[in-house]
């Protein structure tokens, strides 16, 4: 007959299994971050190539395409290890659908590159194509963060996701600014987009700092990491202060690209630290849980607990285990098993509370994105315009952005069809 200890051991094995899945997820997130970084650089070089009418940057772009393909092959090899035949609790359906969507984009990437080789697409259309693919990859990281069962791991994943999203906005800024300089003429719409991208970066980096460990925050603010920002600010002013239609120096496109790339490479160092720390954290938690499992197993060799020990324990599992009584109840094994049960209950409750707090930020993001999509569909707005509209509504009503987004979504059913 199975005992309470048998199920306590089973619970610990389930915990270890979940941590091992998280460790594998951390590996997937690491290779996804490297693929995103390669595609971001490829996007920037493609804009320089297109902006120069194919006269420059062809070799640099070809070299980056080769590097991106190499990381893509590694990404595919890692995701081949994912057991798609096993139903995962909670977020498995969403995660698998995100992966399927990314694979569809990667399968068509070489066809896109062929179009760009022939300069059949302009810089705006090329940028949007890469943005679409990178967004799909970031959605995989988002689902990984949303499905993490350990609050400390979840916090690291949320920090990483927001940092990667901020870095993506920095990459879009690099591509958009390079195209403006390369075409040699200021453009009001392009300038507004750049301002939106800067604001979006700052918002993501604020969230990163809220969830990131101290070591990652310190690396991000270190002088060697933040140094490229000063030169970038100078070049930003060149772009933003130019009147619509004013001439820009095309030779600054290379300078802009190099400065933005230096900043993004510095951001990649932070990403690498976050992913390395995440994998190390999972390894530490697995080792600790396995040590606890061995301790639990040693209890099985001890005498059976006193049958009344359950009734002498506090009714509230969060309370401390009872002291040894004068009547002989509360033998060492009684206390050991009951304390383990109580500790497990307290820990699981604390984890649930912290996970709820961490996932709140992810849920807020999902609500805001849905509200922006609603505005884009019904008012024919661009994504920056939809975000600006939501922010203005929140300011006018003196409410949080997510509260305004929820109110807007609650009215979705009564909005007229498009």
More confident residue, 76 or 8: 76
For the chain, the domains span: 4-286, 311-414
Angstrom CA distances, 353 to 213, 336, 346, 348, 356, stand at 19, 26, 11, 9, 5
Mean pLDDT for 172-176 is 89
pLDDT of residue 330: 35
Tokens of 14: 């389930």
3-state helix, strand, coil in the chain (%, to 5): 80, 0, 20
Residue range 311-414, CATH number: 1.10.10.10
Output Rg (C-alpha) for the chain, integer angstroms.
26
pLDDT of residue 341: 58
pLDDT of residue 351: 59
Report which of 17, 239, 211, 49 is spatially closest to residue 126, judged by C-alpha positions. Answer: 49
pLDDT digits (tens, 9 = 90+) for 42-65: 998 998 898 888 888 899 999 999
Mean pLDDT for 298-308 is 66
Q: Does residue 328 have a pLDDT over 50?
A: no
pLDDT of residue 323: 40
pLDDT of residue 55: 87
pLDDT of residue 61: 95
Q: Which residues pair with 185 in a beta bridge?
A: 247
pLDDT digits (tens, 9 = 90+) for 247-270: 999 889 889 989 999 999 999 999
**CB neighbour list of residue 159: distance below 8 Å, 6 or more residues apart:** 207, 208, 210, 211, 212, 213, 216, 274
Tokens of 372: 């922006």
pLDDT digits (tens, 9 = 90+) for 355-413: 676 667 777 777 887 888 888 877 788 777 787 788 888 877 878 877 878 877 777 65
The Cα 355–Cα 95 span in angstroms is: 18
């Amino acid at each position: 007959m199975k005992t309470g200890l048998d199920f306590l051991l089973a619970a610990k094995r389930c915990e270890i299994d979940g941590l091992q899945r998280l460790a594998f997820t951390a590996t997937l997130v690491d290779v996804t971050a490297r693929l995103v970084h390669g595609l971001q650089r490829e996007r920037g070089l493609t804009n320089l190539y297109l902006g120069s009418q194919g006269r420059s940057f062809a070799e640099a772009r070809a070299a980056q395409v080769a590097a991106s393909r190499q990381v893509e092959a590694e990404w595919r090899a890692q995701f081949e290890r994912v057991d798609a035949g096993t139903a995962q609790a909670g977020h498995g359906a969403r995660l698998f659908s995100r992966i399927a969507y990314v694979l569809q984009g990667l399968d068509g990437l070489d066809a896109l590159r062929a179009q760009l080789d022939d300069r059949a697409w302009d810089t705006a259309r090329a940028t949007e194509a890469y943005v679409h693919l990178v967004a799909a990859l970031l959605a995989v990281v988002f689902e990984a963060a949303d499905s993490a069962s350990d609050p400390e791991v979840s916090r690291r994943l949320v920090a990483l996701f927001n940092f990667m999203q901020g870095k993506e906005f920095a990459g879009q800024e690099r591509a958009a600014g390079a195209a403006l300089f390369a075409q040699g003429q200021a453009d009001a719409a392009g300038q507004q987009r750049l301002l939106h991208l800067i604001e979006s970066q700052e918002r993501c980096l604020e969230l990163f700092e809220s969830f990131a460990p101290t070591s990652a925050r310190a690396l991000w603010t270190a002088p060697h990491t933040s140094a490229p920002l000063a030169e970038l600010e100078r070049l930003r002013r060149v772009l933003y202060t130019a009147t619509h239609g004013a001439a820009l120096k095309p030779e600054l496109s290379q300078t802009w690209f190099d400065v933005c790339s230096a900043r993004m490479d510095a951001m990649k160092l932070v990403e690498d630290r976050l992913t390395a720390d995440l994998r190390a954290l999972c390894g530490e938690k697995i080792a600790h849980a396995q040590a606890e499992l061995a301790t639990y197993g040693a209890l099985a060799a001890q005498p059976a607990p006193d049958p009344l020990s359950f009734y002498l324990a506090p009714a509230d599992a969060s309370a401390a285990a009872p002291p040894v009584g004068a009547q002989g109840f509360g033998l060492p094994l009684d206390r050991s098993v009951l304390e383990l049960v109580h500790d497990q209950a307290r820990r699981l409750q604390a984890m649930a509370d912290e996970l709820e707090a961490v996932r709140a930020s992810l849920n807020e993001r999902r609500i805001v994105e849905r509200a922006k999509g609603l505005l884009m569909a019904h008012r024919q707005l661009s994504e920056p315009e939809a975000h600006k509209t939501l922010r203005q509504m929140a300011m006018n009503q003196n409410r949080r952005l997510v509260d305004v987004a929820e109110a807007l979504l609650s009215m979705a059913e009564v909005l007229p069809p498009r």
